[in-house]
Amino acid sequence: MHVNQAQTALWTEMAADPGDGADRLTAWQPARWPVAPDWRLLVDGFFASPSAQELGAFVRSRLEAGAVVYPPRPLWAFELTPLFEVRVVILGQDPYHGAGQAQGLAFSVAEGQRQPPSLRNIFKELQRDLGLPLPASGSLLSWARQGVLLLNTCLTVEEGQPASHARQGWETLTDTVLAAVSGLPQPVVFMLWGAHAQSKQGLIEAACGQGRHLVLTANHPSPLSALRPPAPFIGCGHFGLANAYLGRQGLAPVDW
């Protein structure tokens, strides 16, 4: 799995928006989904597993039944953000289930798409925390290219059916990803928003030892919980805390 930083930097520069006009998954072809070289062993190991065979059979059956499945490239986060370049993990649950929204990056939407409420609250907190202007675009592509792994625990979903592909096998892969990132030698910030993401805190700490990385928790940025005590998302200050932590470790801040 060891790939030098020059290779991963080149891969990150080359990885681009799918841009092929497809806004949905058209076939189950994981061998054709590119990932950065240092993810390859982990990803190939998963797709050779019984869990992945069952997942593939499920997704193929749903596609054959006429289901509209998002996103078009489920592994795009692993294409844009090489393993050994990860500095921050933002953990989501499953992709957006509206037409044209999901990209394969947690919380991000494509250029030109209306920002979903959770993403608007993320930008509001950035404005409050760091004084940044509210962006017109909901694309978080620039974050992914800076080592922010925008990871959902489930990587596909059906149109209008949240959590429709949960517990079908994706979690086996994403739990392995979290363990791999937790085992990295460099410091990493984990942002766990909401009960679902926070349920992975034990896995993260078991893989790395408590205190090795910075784990930040708050409510989910959904309007249903963003202001709810005792740990509201609005006011959490996670973006400033992450950059301060990275700075103390001698690492460059994220340009949010």
* Residue 112 falls in which region: left (phi positive, over 0), alpha (psi -120 to 50) or beta: left
**Among positive and negative, which fits the CA dihedral 76, 55, 184, 200?**
positive
Active-site option among 23, 44, 94, 255: 94
CB 195 within 8 A of CB 178: no
Listed in order, strand segments (DSSP E) in the chain are 69-70, 88-92, 148-152, 157-158, 189-193, 214-218
Instruction: Extract the tokens encoding 256.
Output: 């949010």
Euclidean distance between CA atoms 80 and 188, whole angstroms: 17
CA atoms of 203 and 182, how far apart (whole Å): 9
Euclidean distance between CA atoms 118 and 129, whole angstroms: 16
* DSSP code at position 142: H
Tokens of 207: 């893989």
Active site residue 38: no
- Residues belonging to the active site: 94
